[in-house]
Structure 1
Amino acid sequence: MKNSRIFLSSVAAVSLVSMSACVTDPNTGERKVSRTGIGAVLGGTLGYLLGDVVGGRTARIIGAGVGGTAGAVIGKQFDNQIKELDEQTAGSGVDVEEVGDQDAILVRLPDGVTFASGSASINPGFYPTLDAVAESLIKYPNSLVDVYGFTDTTGSAELNQRLSEQRAQAVADYLAARGVARSRLATQGFGERYEYLRVKTGDNVAEPLNRRVEIKIIPISQEDVQAAQGQ
């Protein structure tokens, strides 16, 4: 039954990375969904990315106290942050993508590098990359940050759910230790759901990237703050 649970996800993900929205990443030489296309083709497989923030936007905005730092216009800052993150993580295996129409920035930490199989301990060799992400979050404080954990299908679904939660928490704890306000951070584990496949350049074989963590950076504007305060 476990294989049947991931079959539809795999088919949808293969379709996703096979579409014309794929581009070649100049940093890694790998094919992935383009920043301009990702919001339109996520569909049901990765549709969780288009949902609201973990715990609800209003409560998170008030709790994080981002009111004084939120910008009136997100556009240019969003473009600057995504460009800098792309440059700072070049060569690390990290994917940096735009979600929707400047709805969020997705930083996808690579499978098999961030964590060993069955482990929620961050590989020390990956600390510099997470340091760069933390620096970006500190430089651009007007955002909320969701950290999502995932696993492969080895082991029971229950074990994988717990492991995915622990991986997300480990990354959030690291970012907080590097100076990111903990009030901006929330975590969620998805276990073995939401398989992600990436097609390597020059090859039609989809590579599963399941033992991963994703960091979703949701920009907050003054408009968002005013709406939250008015509720």
Structure 2
Amino acid sequence: MKKQLISALIISSVTFSQASFAGQEEQDTTRTHNEELIGLSSGIVLGAVVAGPVGAIIGAFTGTMIGKSVGDESELKQNTAQLAMQQQEIDNLAAEKQLLATNQQQTKQQLLALQQAQSTRLAELTLGLNVQFKTGSSEIQPHFQAQLDEVAYLLNQSPALRLDLTGYADRRGDSTYNQALSEQRAAEVRSYLVDRGVEVSRLDTSAFGASSPLNQEQSFENDFFDRRVTLRLVTEETAVAATH
């Protein structure tokens, strides 16, 4: 029995010495060797007690395999946990990317709706937008002042828009007087808009006197509609294209 214990101690000492020497040469595998040594020493003692020197050798081999298996299982658990964390990060990034894409799409839709609403409003203002005047007068009446206030607001909110102002007169009076009156009416509308913050460089004026009546037949009612300044909203691109 003593011989068996002595043999176990000798084998254990030799094994530990070899393991220490190998640990110095290969520092990167320290954990793996330690785990194997734990299993090895445990197997030696167990084998020596049970079956003597031969049992110690067999136990040492078995213990080494057990220690390595325990170390591999621990490493596997760590790797599995790390992979799970990485997968969670990937899932979070994918969710953020999807949310960003959804927000971008919603922003595009909102911008498109705003542009469509602006185009609709622009068309409403452009269609039949005239400022009418009393006979021989260039004074803007309160009803038309309210309309011009809306036009000024639109222009101030939309820097890309310009405004064409065209003055007219009815067919009563001589052509020279009517021409001057139509020019004065266009100038009054331009001045009104400038007073409300519209840059004068964005307002183009012209006048045609009584040369462009709306109806061929002259009457009291037709003369009323001929005394006018028409307003036409255009974009910067349209204005540039019209000059070429």
Report the TM-score, using the length of structure 1 for normalisation.
Answer: 0.47
> Which has the larger Rg?
2
More strand by share: 1
What is the TM-score when the length of structure 2 is the normalising length? 0.44
Higher relative contact order (Cα pairs below 8 Å, separated by 6+ residues): 1
More helix by share: 2
